[in-house]
Every structure is written in structure tokens, then in C-alpha cells.
């Protein structure tokens, strides 16, 4: 599998400093660096151009010298005559009839003149990356193509996204305005938790620049540079490690050139980006507003043609071919990590968006906070992912806010509160979120008679489930509504079989009453409280719900390895086999339509040691490890999707 490089931004918290070195532009050694300050314009001499070259086959013509970074602007016909202007990497700049002007792969030409000029990077269009495309931060809003961040209290607004690997000189183009304290930030690494200053960085304010080396929060260099407010500026780095840079204004005039190693009070001898990684972002101070109308990065194109046929398809492409959902849950704050973004959007065609229950969404009865959810929904829509919203209704105490639990509301008042919640949530995302895990774990609490855990059953009665589905259907008649339950993976297991039968009977009664349940969500937390399921047992579960005419989705799959003996390699192979068994059985059924893991990296598992997590040691339950490297479980999923057929999965149970 070929992994794609990805782009990451960074926003930092800063505070007042005690020690500073300050210079003005009149004191600085100002010189113009021999680099372009804008997206380069093609300048090629047409003196004695070569008469023509011939296209050997139908070929796309690109806006620049890359079939990945530039759009196709025209199609060249086989045998068409073209005038060549220059060679850049694997591409020839040509012009043809009908105002055709662009870049064609050299192998699609009959021949290339030996004396065709070699073009420099300043003679071809730059590869431009819109950094707005990577910002999905709660609290950051986009309107009319502008990014706006406003703080309403005494807190700083930090946003850390990165890293972007840089191997060539590059230019940052930006335009912004600030009311209060606001800056654009470039950094060489993400700051350590709680130590905003702990990385080399450049902060661009509306009237000055600030340089820091990351050793402590007190030492920095301030360079006065007034007049940047709401002006387009270009910051040109002559090398990828940021040893020096030049700032240009919107007219192309050089404002200042800075050698970052020349200052005594800070040490940036290895440059701003010593590891070759670039983080970018913003800083917004208390009671301030920052508006950014332009934020992009331009760099020379590689000129290499990428043979897309050599790139293996990813999970989502294999699943798309089968009209099957392959997905993961996600969290908005993790989108600051562009490697997380790349895997989530690159591998999965479905995103499970969590935190619709009242405890996360409603800090008070009349206030809904959709910022985190909106960020994830925007991310999914940007990347053409299906969305599962989860869960809307959960009766567990830990999922409910204190104002509700301690409010002494009457039954009628609670019915109105629940009705308002479902109508508001489902209605807000009508036409955007098409599938909801509407009611979570009601059947599980019913089977085990954990009624003390179900707030809604205790205060409204079991009919709240019927009400919830009816209200959701009213809010969005086109929504696909799921009843979400754990412990439904194996009908051949004695304890699981009883739970499955109970859920089947419950669902049957609800359907007979006309409750609009469209499907069952099976959570799929394996090896958490019982032994591994069998292919036969899982297939029987699917067949049971097929009798009711319901589709089934696995929506929280993971495989806990905490108590599995053997070497790491053996444990991971065992886990991979469970992934294979469950996914292949799902695909072979007529009713199982999706397979979603509960996050995709072991770094973020709910089973591990994190706030609100189970604290299980060494669970390693997901298809990517903590460093985002694919595990055998990932390759098992890949092979099943790539080789799916009607061949039956072996029936023997996996056990330890």
C-alpha cells in the first residue's frame, strides 16, 4: 500500500514574555532573496520554437507538470500536432489548436526534440495547497471563503495541525485581520502538552513578527513590521528548513529578509523547521477575533508522473465497488493531526460521528453545542463519506447532564425535553446525516434488567423507545434508524444467544406496533467479556434479523488482546483472523451492510488508559497501531474486501 503524504496546520497559545530582543526594519539587514514571492507565472521564450510534436495516443493535458497536483484542462487526440515550449521533469509544455495550453506526459509524444529547453521551477505553475482544506476545528467558522475565529472569554484559542513534510523551498501566502490579538503561526513541531512555547516558531502579527526557539517561554525576538493588517503578504523560504525567509507585500516589494541564526537571545541555528516538518496555524488571544481570507502554500512541482495503476486501492475503494460501508468513528480534536485526517478520509467511506447524547451536546436545557459535531460532519462531507450519527438517546447516567438528572422534572416535562432533543438533533442534519444509531443499549438493559441504569425508562417508561423512533422519523422521514445493541455477535454462545433472542423478541414487538426501526447496529466489542464468536454463530445472528426484514451494521468493532497469550506476532495474527471471520461473514450475508470500527488506531482506543476509558492494559484492539502503522488486522480486512466471493468462511471456532 502506498501511503500519501499529508498536510498539517498548527495554532499555538502565547502569553506575555519577560525577555525579548526587538528590532525594527530600519535596523535589520534587509536584502531581496532570489526567489519568487507569488505563484510563478510561466515565462518561456518562443524564439525559434520547435515546429511541432505529435501525440501518439489520446492523452490528458494538465494545467501544470503533474497528473496528481493539477487539473486536466483539455484532451489531446491521437495524431494531434502540438508546439513544444519546454521540458519539466516527465512533462512537456505544449500549445495546440483551440487555445490548448498545458502539460502532457512526454511518453505520450512520438518524439521529443533533443534541444528542447529544460524549464526551471520559476517557469512553471507552482503547486498550490489551500490550507483551509485541513481546518475542521470546533470554534472556527467559514463564511464567504473566510476563516473566522472569535474568543468570548479570557481563554486563548490554540489550534495545532501538522506536520507537513517539506523538501523544497516554499511560499506561504496569507491575508488576515485581527481585532485584539491574532497571528498566523508557522512552527517546526507541535508544542508539548501545556508548554505552548516548546517548539521553534514564527508568529506573524499585523504589526510585527515574533521568533521563538522553543527553549523557554520568556526569550523571543520581536521584529517591528507595521502595515500587514488585511494585506496579502508572501513569506518566501529559500530552503525547506527555514534558515532564512523574506516577506513581500502584495505589490511584490521586499519588506524584510531575516536570517534566523543571527540573533543572540534565541538559538535557531538549525532553522525554524529542523526536521523538515512544517506546522501551520493561528493564535487568537482572549476577547479577540481573527479573520483569515487567504492561507495557502505554494511550492515547486516535482514534475514526476505518478502511475495511478501502481497504487493499490484503499479499503474505501474496495468497499465502494461492493456498495458496502467500511468505516471508523472519529473525534473532532484529533483532526488537528493531518496523519489522522489522511487515514480516516483515505481508508474509510463512512464516518461514525459520536456525542449526540444530551451529556455531550447540551450544557444546559436551552443550549446546544454543535461545534464538535459540525466539524466532523464537515470533514465527512468534504471527503464524500457516509455518516452515522450516534447515539441520540442513551439512558445511562454517564451520558446525561446534571441539569437533567437533578432537575426534578415531571414525566410530561421529560417527554418534552426528549422530544425537543431528538427533533432538534435529527432535524438539524436532515439530508446530511442519513443514518442514526437512535436508541442505544435499551435491549441490553432490558435483558439484564439494569433498569436502574436507564434514566428514560425509569422516568417515562419503556414506551420512550417508541416515542423516540416516531419523533426521529417526523424530523427526517428519509433517515435510516438503527437500534444499537452490544453482545449480539454469536448466537451459538449460550449467554450471547439469550441476549440475541431477547433483542429479537423486543424488536419484533416494536415492529408489530409500527415503530419505524430500519435496522440493527451490532456493536462488536470482541473478547471484552466473553470468548471469541464463531462464523456460524454470527451468521445465525444475521439470519435471525433478516427474518424481520432489517439490515444489520457492525458499528463499534474492536478485538481486545489484553488477555490473549503468545508473542506479539501471534496475538496480532489471532486478532487478524477474527477481523477476517467477522467481515467475511458480514459480506456473505444478505443483510449486513457495513463494518465500522470504534476508532482505527490503538492510540485512541476506549479500552486503554485515558480519561473516561476502561483502563485495560495493552488491549491493542484496532487495525492500525499507535504509530498509525497498519497491523495484520488491516491486511485481513483488505484481503477480504479484495477477494470477496460466495465461498463460505470455515466454521471452526477461534479460541484460546
CB 66 within 8 Å of CB 301:
yes
Give the pLDDT confidence score for residue 531 in this predicted structure. Answer: 83
pLDDT tens-digit readout, 378-431: 999 999 999 999 999 999 888 999 999 999 999 999 999 999 999 999 999 999
Split at pLDDT 50, 70, 90, the class of 30 is very low
Q: What helix, strand, coil percent values describe the chain, rounded to 5?
A: 25, 30, 45
pLDDT tens-digit readout, 351-372: 999 999 999 899 999 999 999 9
Q: State the Cα–Cα distance between residues 300 and 178, nearest whole angstrom.
A: 31
DSSP state of 442: H
Task: Supply the pTM of this predicted model.
Answer: 0.86
Give the pLDDT confidence score for residue 17 in this predicted structure. Answer: 33
Give the pLDDT confidence score for residue 79 in this predicted structure. Answer: 95
Asked whether residue 345 carries a pLDDT value surpassing 80, the answer given is yes
Asked whether residue 13 carries a pLDDT value surpassing 70, the answer given is no
Split at pLDDT 50, 70, 90, the class of 450 is low
Q: How high does pLDDT run on average in the chain?
A: 88
Q: Which residue has the higher pLDDT, 634 or 2?
A: 634
In which region does residue 287 sit, left (phi positive, over 0), alpha (psi from -120 to 50) or beta (all else)?
A: left
Give the pLDDT confidence score for residue 23 in this predicted structure. Answer: 55
Split at pLDDT 50, 70, 90, the class of 311 is low
Beta sheet of 100-105, edge-to-edge order: 53-54, 81-88, 91-96, 100-105, 59-62, 72-76
Asked whether residue 44 carries a pLDDT value surpassing 70, the answer given is no
pLDDT tens-digit readout, 529-581: 778 999 999 999 999 999 999 999 999 999 999 999 999 999 999 999 999 99
User: What is the mean predicted confidence (pLDDT) over 433-439?
Assistant: 97
Segment among 49-53, 55-59, 278-282, 533-537 with least mean pLDDT: 49-53
Give the pLDDT confidence score for residue 187 in this predicted structure. Answer: 94
Q: Exposure of 254 by Cβ count < 10 A (0-12 exposed, 13-18 middle, 19+ buried)?
A: middle
Asked whether residue 18 carries a pLDDT value surpassing 50, the answer given is no
Asked whether residue 20 carries a pLDDT value surpassing 70, the answer given is no
Q: Which residue has the higher pLDDT, 155 or 588?
A: 588
User: What is the mean predicted confidence (pLDDT) over 450-456?
Assistant: 79
Beta strands 325-329; 53-54: pairing state:
unpaired
Amino acid at each position: 500500500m502506498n501511503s500519501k503524504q499529508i498536510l498539517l496546520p498548527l495554532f499555538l497559545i502565547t502569553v506575555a514574555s519577560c525577555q525579548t530582543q526587538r528590532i525594527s526594519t530600519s535596523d535589520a539587514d534587509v536584502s531581496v532573496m532570489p526567489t519568487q514571492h507569488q505563484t510563478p507565472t510561466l515565462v518561456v521564450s518562443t524564439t525559434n520554437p520547435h515546429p511541432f510534436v505529435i501525440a501518439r495516443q489520446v492523452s490528458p493535458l494538465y494545467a501544470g507538470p503533474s497528473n496528481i497536483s493539477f487539473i486536466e484542462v483539455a484532451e489531446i487526440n491521437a495524431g494531434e500536432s502540438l508546439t513544444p515550449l519546454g521540458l519539466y521533469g516527465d512533462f512537456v509544455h505544449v500549445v495546440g489548436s483551440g487555445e490548448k495550453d498545458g502539460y502532457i506526459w512526454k511518453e505520450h509524444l512520438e518524439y521529443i526534440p533533443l534541444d528542447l529547453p529544460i524549464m526551471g521551477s520559476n517557469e512553471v505553475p507552482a503547486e498550490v495547497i489551500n490550507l483551509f482544506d485541513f481546518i475542521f476545528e470546533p470554534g472556527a467558522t467559514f463564511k464567504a471563503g473566510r476563516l473566522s475565529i472569535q474568543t468570548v472569554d479570557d481563554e486563548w484559542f490554540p489550534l495545532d495541525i501538522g506536520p507537513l513534510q517539506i523538501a523544497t523551498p516554499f511560499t506561504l501566502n496569507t491575508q488576515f485581520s485581527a481585532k485584539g490579538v491574532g497571528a498566523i503561526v508557522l512552527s517546526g513541531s507541535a508544542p508539548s502538552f501545556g508548554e505552548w512555547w516548546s517548539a521553534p516558531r514564527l508568529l506573524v502579527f499585523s504589526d510585527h513578527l515574533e521568533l521563538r526557539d522553543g527553549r523557554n517561554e520568556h526569550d523571543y525576538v520581536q521584529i517591528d513590521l507595521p502595515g500587514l493588517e488585511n494585506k496579502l503578504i508572501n513569506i518566501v523560504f529559500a530552503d525547506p528548513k527555514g534558515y532564512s525567509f523574506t516577506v513581500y507585500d502584495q505589490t511584490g516589494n521586499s519588506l524584510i529578509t531575516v536570517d534566523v541564526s543571527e540573533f543572540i537571545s534565541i538559538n535557531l541555528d538549525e532553522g525554524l523547521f529542523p526536521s523538515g516538518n512544517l506546522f501551520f496555524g493561528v493564535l487568537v488571544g482572549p476577547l479577540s477575533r481573527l479573520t483569515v481570507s487567504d492561507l495557502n502554500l505554494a511550492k515547486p512541482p516535482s514534475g514526476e508522473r505518478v502511475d495511478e495503476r501502481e497504487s493499490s486501492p484503499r479499503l474505501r475503494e474496495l468497499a465502494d465497488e461492493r456498495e458496502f460501508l467500511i468505516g471508523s468513528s472519529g473525534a473532532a480534536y484529533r483532526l488537528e493531526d493531518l496523519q489522522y485526517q489522511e487515514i480516516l478520509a483515505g481508508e474509510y467511506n463512512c464516518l461514525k460521528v459520536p456525542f449526540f447524547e444530551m451529556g455531550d451536546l447540551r450544557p444546559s436545557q436551552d443550549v446546544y453545542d454543535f461545534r464538535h459535531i459540525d466539524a466532523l460532519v464537515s470533514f465527512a462531507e468534504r471527503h464524500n463519506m457516509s455518516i452515522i450519527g450516534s447515539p441520540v438517546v442513551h439512558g445511562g447516567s454517564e451520558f446525561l447532564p446534571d441539569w437533567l438528572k437533578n432537575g426534578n422534572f415531571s414525566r410530561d416535562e421529560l417527554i418534552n425535553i426528549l422530544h425537543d432533543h431528538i427533533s432538534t438533533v435529527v432535524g438539524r442534519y436532515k439530508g446530511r446525516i442519513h443514518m442514526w444509531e437512535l436508541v442505544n443499549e435499551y435491549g441490553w438493559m432490558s435483558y439484564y434488567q439494569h433498569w436502574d441504569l436507564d434514566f428514560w425508562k425509569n422516568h417515562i417508561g419503556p414506551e420512550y423507545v417508541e416515542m423516540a423512533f416516531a419523533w426521529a422519523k417526523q424530523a427526517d422521514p428519509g433517515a435510516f434508524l438503527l437500534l444499537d445493541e452490544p453482545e449480539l455477535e454469536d448466537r451459538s454462545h449460550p449467554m450471547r444467544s439469550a441476549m440475541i433472542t431477547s433483542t429479537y423478541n423486543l424488536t419484533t414487538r416494536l415492529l408489530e406496533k409500527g415503530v419505524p426501526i430500519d435496522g440493527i447496529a451490532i456493536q462488536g466489542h470482541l473478547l471484552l467479556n466473553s470468548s471469541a464468536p464463531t462464523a456460524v454463530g454470527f451468521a445465525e445472528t444475521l439470519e435471525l434479523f433478516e427474518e424481520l426484514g432489517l439490515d444489520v451494521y457492525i458499528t463499534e468493532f474492536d478485538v481486545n488482546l489484553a488477555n490473549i497469550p503468545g508473542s506479539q506476532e501471534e496475538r496480532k495474527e489471532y486478532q487478524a483472523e477474527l477481523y477476517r471471520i467477522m467481515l467475511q461473514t458480514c459480506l456473505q450475508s444478505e443483510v449486513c451492510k457495513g463494518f465500522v470500527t470504534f476508532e482505527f488506531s490503538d492510540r485512541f482506543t476506549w479500552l486503554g488508559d485515558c480519561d473516561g476509558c476502561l483502563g485495560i492494559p495493552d488491549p491493542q484492539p484496532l487495525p492500525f497501531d499507535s504509530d498509525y502503522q497498519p497491523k495484520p488486522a488491516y491486511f485481513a480486512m483488505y484481503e477480504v474486501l479484495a477477494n470477496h466471493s460466495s465461498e463460505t468462511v470455515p466454521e471452526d471456532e477461534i479460541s484460546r
